[in-house]
């Protein structure tokens, strides 16, 4: 065998090994047991009057005017969503944007997003975050420039009023941008806590083709979400349990070790 032919075989073997590594199936993540979901109140839906007809396939029964979600279907949907998240995590350049602006979800969403260094929105969805992404990038760039200027030696020549104006603008931008300050490209997916409450975010994601993973309570329209997870999106423990499982799936694939924290009660 000639040297050129031998080199070709070696290169082919390396390529195949790389391909096998890339396509290697993800290790299944540990998902919550049915009893854990039951204890967290994942199964509690809204009253019958608020129920979206499209959620019927995920409803187990109705008790005392409150709809009960079928937790076996929740578990199946959660497993499917976790697999999708792992497929995204395989690519180190891809990000998932966490969104949860409801009072019950804010602290949980922020904590889980920060644990895997992902961007998040917990205060207010900015209209045009996706559809007018260039404006968001300009605001981030402006914030970075102001921060750099505020820390540079030249700031000593500025007047007291100029410093106050600059500081106020930095605070305003930090408040508006919140967890988006590190984002530089559109996310690979959107994870929303409460598909019904985050309709603006879901709508924008659908318009430009960003897949949506979302907790869908019985008042939501699951057809608007690519990976709907039927679950109570009002209970703190339920939100923490579901978002935590999805975050562990991402962390496991990325090799991120999440620090243990006290469970939300």
Domains and CATH numbers, the chain: 27-130+186-265 (3.40.50.10490), 132-182 (1.10.287)
| The model's pTM | 0.85
Give the per-residue pLDDT at 253.
95
Helix (H) or strand (E) holding 167: helix 160-177
End-to-end CA distance of the chain: 69
Give the per-residue pLDDT at 63.
80
The DSSP symbol for 189 reads E
CA atoms of 81 and 93, how far apart (whole Å): 20
Give the per-residue pLDDT at 261.
58
Burial class of residue 220 in the structure, from the number of CB atoms within 10 Å of its CB (0-12 exposed, 13-18 middle, 19+ buried): buried
Inter-helix orientation angle 71-89/236-254, to 10°: 30
Q: Is the pLDDT of residue 248 over 70?
A: yes
Per the prediction, the chain carries an average pLDDT of: 88
Three-state DSSP state, 121: strand
- Predicted confidence (pLDDT) per residue in 96-142, tens digit: 999 999 999 999 999 999 999 999 999 999 999 999 999 999 999 99
Please give the backbone phi and psi of residue 60, each rounded to the nearest 5 degrees, phi first: -90, -50
Q: By C-alpha distance, which of 65, 34, 97 is closest to 231?
A: 34
- In angstroms, the Cα distances linking 235 to 13, 25, 33, 109, 202 are 52, 33, 17, 13, 21
């Amino acid at each position: 065998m000639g040297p050129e032919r031998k080199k070709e075989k070696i290169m082919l073997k390396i390529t195949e090994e790389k391909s096998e590594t890339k396509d290697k199936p993800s290790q299944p993540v540990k998902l919550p047991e049915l009893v854990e979901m039951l204890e967290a109140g994942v199964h509690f839906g809204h009253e019958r009057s608020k129920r979206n007809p499209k959620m019927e396939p995920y409803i187990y029964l109705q008790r005392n005017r409150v709809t009960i979600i079928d937790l076996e279907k929740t578990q199946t949907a959660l497993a499917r969503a976790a697999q999708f998240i792992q497929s995204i995590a395989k690519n180190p350049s891809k990000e998932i944007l966490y969104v949860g602006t409801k009072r019950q979800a804010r602290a949980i969403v922020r904590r889980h997003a920060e644990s895997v260094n992902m961007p998040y929105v917990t205060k207010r969805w900015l209209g045009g975050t996706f559809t007018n992404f260039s404006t968001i990038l300009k605001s981030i760039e402006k914030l970075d420039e102001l921060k750099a200027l505020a820390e540079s030696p030249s700031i000593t020549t500025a007047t007291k009023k100029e410093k106050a104006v600059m500081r106020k603008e930095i605070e305003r931008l930090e408040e508006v941008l919140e967890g988006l300050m590190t984002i530089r490209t559109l996310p690979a997916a959107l994870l929303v806590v409460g598909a019904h409450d985050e309709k603006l975010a879901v709508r924008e994601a659908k318009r430009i083709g960003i897949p949506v993973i979302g907790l869908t309570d019985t008042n939501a329209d699951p057809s608007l979400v690519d990976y709907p997870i039927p679950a109570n999106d009002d209970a703190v423990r339920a939100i923490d349990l579901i978002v935590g499982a999805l975050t562990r799936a991402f962390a496991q694939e990325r090799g991120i070790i999440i620090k243990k924290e006290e469970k939300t009660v």
